[in-house]
Amino acid sequence: MKHKQIRSAAGLPMLAVLVLSACLLISCRNGGEGEDATETAPPAVTVDLSGYAIVRPERTSQDCLDAVAALRSAMADLGAALDVRDDWYLEGDYDPAAKEILVGGTNREESGQLLSQIQGEGYAISFTEHKVVIAATRDSFLTDAVAYFVESILKGSAAPSVQLGVPVFSDPYRVLILAADGKTDYTIIRQANSADYTAELGMQLREAIRKQTGAAPDMEMDIYTEDPDPEAFEILLGHTNRPESAQALEGVPADGYVVAYSGNKVILNAWSLKGIGQAVTEFLAILEQSYSDGVLSVPSFEPKQGSIRADFAELPEPEAPTLSSSYRGLDDTLSSVYTGAVASDFDAYLTQLKAAGYSEYQTNRIGNNLFAIYKQGNRAVYVSYFPWDGSLRVTSETAYSLPSGSYVESEKITVSTLGQLSLDDEAGNFGMGYIFTLEDGSFFLIDGGGRAGEDETVLYNYLQAHNKRTDGRIVIAGWLFTHEHYDHVTNFLDFTAKYASSVTLEAVYWNFADPCEFDEIGSYYNDLIGSVGKYPGLKVHKVHAGQRIWIRNAEVEILYTHETLHPYVLTDMNDTSTVFRVNIAGKRILFLADVSTVAQKDSAVKVIYGLYGSELKSDILQVAHHGWNGGSVEIYNAVLPEIAFWPVEQSRWNTVIQYATSKTILELQEKGVIQQMYVAKDGEVTIALE
């Protein structure tokens, strides 16, 4: 008789009793591949397990540790708190009569004996007067073995005991031969136009197989095969055009990943790019224990699922729209995209959040786009509805504090101003840096430029010269970093090293992408974290599209972050820029940071214009990407600013003005639409905003 495979012990009901039927054991003998056994059951002998210890190998795998943890939890639920020990002992000290439940390849004789009896691939469970033995040909089967032990053997007893009987053998597992004798029939298939990270993951897989077997599978994009063969030997990486890739994700939550098998195919997939990487990591761990005698084989069992942030509280799943993809940011931020949505789905999801115990923190509307922030404890959820692509987006993260969402009146001691730095071109410095002087004399800074020369001192001198506070203290109420490029963040690093003790910095604002999204990402993040740690009491706030933040009398409205680009693939680091508008003293000032028009059609400028269109109209504009193909003609014709700030140095001026987008800015100036143009090459400038 075959017994059903149970993939995981996680979540199994921990039964109130434990007993083993001798008749059951006899009928399941030899794994069920042949005829049902007809032996007569011997008289039942009951063994109390409450005084047993769970024993595992001294050095073992995570799979074995997980199986041991599941077994210990099951026994605890039955009132038997068993110790867990490794199998190490001093020579001569081992007591063969010790009462033990052996899990995995322990050094006990009983483990080896049972393992030698398993035919093919699978697990077995045996019983002696002093030992319960759970063995498997691979550690990855031990979770199945423990699950079977809990579900089928411990079921129905009135006490922590088992009755002795003949061994139980699982049905043989089907295995996929990935490579044998230095050869492989497998090809790694990845999605065309996917992130470079998927190619890196494919190379990791290829190299792991080559190191073990000498055989390196080919790797190609899915579009190379117009009519895929369902019987082909393939490792499917990510969202390929093979139907098995999508099928494997059915029932997988937004933060989940899956390692699955279908026919001759291995499927490694997730809703997020980060999750695909985790699926590969999971599969590589399986490969590490899958090579023997020149053959690399993996068991074809039920899908193995996991989460890229298992410790995060589960969110309600939107009821109507369809989950299409997820985007993992830094830390535990996860943004999920649901397609086929309408405005009522936005309202319905907010109702779901309220029912789940979340409370409203902020709502916003920009054009027809709807935004809301909900909070529960230290969990924040950002919900948005975008009519232009019919998407409902749910972003969740740990947020110990949120920035102020309303104006808090402060004493006005000065008019608000906006300054543009002129960086040290001769020293090779470039980038952009802007300083708002706020009504209470504090400052709000944006980026700051690169670190060549001594522009950190130029910045400090600017703050000193424009400081209107009566106590003379330089207070920076906020510092926003648009993205992680050298020419936008490194001046802050030098400024902090030299002047941290001379200023008060209250908060920084950013939203940087995860390094898996693009090779350049992560170059300065650790340095930034180290620098902000030098300011006592400073708060770090991650910003998201639709969020309204008040910094003194400046309302900062976030229009776009890298999450907003998804599900388009990030092909330009500049598209990780945070785009925002500052509403202050009756003026609307649009900062486009470095978003630029590139060959890839699905870029940030397409998304920004698609979302907002004419809503981008502003009084003052920061020319995007220093003029290097910055922004787009459509965006500039929607903004139609009266004043433009252009963060570009003299050495680059003659080059940047050749781009079509730059020519649009110059044409708007010629037509009198732009009445004032302030170019950084011409020197530092400050204008009054009221």
Residue 129's pLDDT is 81
The amino acid at 427: A
For residues 455 and 556, state if they share a domain.
yes
Sign of the alpha-carbon dihedral angle for 180, 182, 187, 188: positive
Residue for token pair 């009266």: 642
Tell me which of 146, 169, 192 is where a domain ends: 169
For residues 88 and 193, state if they share a domain.
no
For residues 530 and 593, state if they share a domain.
yes
CATH number, domain with residue 610: 3.60.15.10
In the structure encoding, which two tokens stand for residue 199, read together? 């190619």
Q: Is 470 left (phi over 0), alpha (psi -120 to 50) or beta?
A: alpha
Residue 597's pLDDT is 78
Residue 207: how many other CB atoms lie within 10 Å: 12
Tell me which of 140, 169, 198 is where a domain ends: 169
Question: How far does the chain reach from its first CA to its final CA, in angstroms?
Answer: 86
For residues 290 and 430, state if they share a domain.
no
Query: 619: closest CA among 645, 596, 595?
Result: 645
For residues 468 and 614, state if they share a domain.
yes
The answer to the question of residue 661 being in a domain is yes
Number of domains in the chain: 4
For residues 588 and 460, state if they share a domain.
yes
For residues 491 and 609, state if they share a domain.
yes
For residues 479 and 578, state if they share a domain.
yes
For residues 275 and 161, state if they share a domain.
no
Domain that holds residue 44: 22-169
The answer to the question of residue 650 being in a domain is yes
Q: Residue 268 pairs with which residues in a beta bridge?
A: 237, 259
The answer to the question of residue 312 being in a domain is no
The sheet with strand 548-551 has its strands ordered as 548-551, 554-560, 579-584, 587-591, 620-622, 643-646, 676-679
For residues 161 and 185, state if they share a domain.
no
Bridge-based pairing of strands 100-103 and 554-560 is unpaired
The answer to the question of residue 8 being in a domain is no
CATH number, domain with residue 383: 3.30.160
For residues 137 and 189, state if they share a domain.
no
The answer to the question of residue 558 being in a domain is yes
Q: What Å distances lie between residue 196 and 257, 331, 655, CA to CA?
A: 19, 21, 30
CATH number, domain with residue 245: 3.30.379.10
Burial 77-99 (b: 16+ CB within 10 A, else e): ebebebeeeebeeeeeeeeeeeb
Residue 33's pLDDT is 35
Distance CA 686, CA 415 (A): 12
Distance CA 514, CA 495 (A): 25
Per-run averaged pLDDT (10 residues), the chain, 690 residues: 30 25 32 37 65 94 92 89 92 88 95 94 90 92 90 67 77 92 96 89 96 95 86 96 96 94 96 96 90 87 86 84 92 94 98 97 98 96 97 95 92 97 96 98 98 96 97 97 97 98 98 87 91 97 98 98 94 94 98 83 91 98 96 96 98 96 97 98 97
* Cα dihedral value 98, 102, 106, 109, nearest 10: 60
Residue 238's pLDDT is 96
* Cα dihedral value 352, 358, 361, 362, nearest 10: -10
The answer to the question of residue 15 being in a domain is no
Distance CA 327, CA 108 (A): 47
Number of H helices, E strands in the chain: 16, 38
Is the overall model pTM greater than 0.75, yes or no?
yes
Residue 369 contacts by C-beta under 8 Å, 6 or more apart in sequence?
Answer: 384, 385, 386, 387, 546, 611, 612
For residues 485 and 621, state if they share a domain.
yes
Bridge-based pairing of strands 443-447 and 433-437 is antiparallel
Q: Cβ-count burial of 667 within 10 angstroms (0-12 exposed, 13-18 middle, 19+ buried)?
A: middle
The answer to the question of residue 143 being in a domain is yes
The amino acid at 117: Q
Distance CA 445, CA 474 (A): 12
Q: Where are the beta strands (DSSP E) in 553-653?
A: 554-560, 579-584, 587-591, 620-622, 643-646
Distance CA 183, CA 162 (A): 47
Residue 572 contacts by C-beta under 8 Å, 6 or more apart in sequence?
Answer: 596, 598, 600, 603, 604
**CA angle, 498 as apex, 493 and 502 as ends, to 5°?**
115
Tell me which of 134, 169, 204 is where a domain ends: 169
The answer to the question of residue 407 being in a domain is no
Distance CA 113, CA 135 (A): 9
